[in-house]
Amino acid sequence: MDLSADFRLRDPAVYARWYGEEHRAPAWLAKFVYGLPELHRNEIRNTQYISGVGCNATATNLALLPLARANLLDTTRPIIVDIKVGSSEGGNSPSLASHHPERSGAVRTFAAVGHRHTAEVEQELGLTNVHLSITSIEMVRGVLATAHCFLKAGTTEKDLWRAYRATYRDEPFVRIVKDKQGIYRYPEPKILSGTNYADVGFEFDETTGRAVALCAIDNLMKGAAGSAVQAMNLMCGFDERAGLEFAGLHPI
């Protein structure tokens, strides 16, 4: 299991485009299965090679997956994904930008265009018109992906409910969060810290055809180590949920 980005993309030409260099082991790319169980559960059970997942890609993929599977997206129009992230996404190499006194009170866009995780989303969802923008906020861990897209003419909110329920009704770690009132009407990274859960939600304006698809995760869990353990459980024939059922501390 490789948690780097080396084996996430299947096409060496796509890797070169997004990472700025030729892949050093292109013959190995086809051996790896992308390590997000919600997308590749059966393949993960039957492989010996798993790639890691990008945290921003995971949140985006899970937000949009029901719409893509149900063929509801108007793919002639761009999909714009605004992603808010915490400081832990900056990796383990400190810098002035990631220093917490400097980050206090900050809302800082650091990848307005061209984020590498875009390639994972397009590959896994079969899309070609996805655009990610990443903004760091005053949060240590967590990702909130807000995807703005347009749906095909004639789509109704009931179609979205059917799509999300069909996609996630049997998923042990994905929950649909969509309420008319209260603090947590939509997915919120704060309540997912330390968990392998992904909360998804949506809103839809039938008059314009615009949908907003949301997903919140802990980038260190569902966006990295949690998905890796989940994939390992599947590979080894363990209970998929083993070691991953911590539900979080907030709200208590």
55 in catalytic set = yes
Amino acid at 94: P
Q: Are strands 130-137 and 79-85 parallel, antiparallel or unpaired?
A: parallel
Q: Are strands 143-150 and 79-85 parallel, antiparallel or unpaired?
A: antiparallel
Question: Which one of the listed residues 55, 149, 215, 236 is annotated catalytic?
Answer: 55
Report the candidate in 141, 164, 146, 143 with the shortest Cα–Cα distance to residue 217: 143
Judge contact between 193 and 252, C-beta under 8 A: no
Judge contact between 134 and 115, C-beta under 8 A: yes
Bond prior to 94 in cis (omega within 30° of 0): no
Catalytic residue ranges: 55
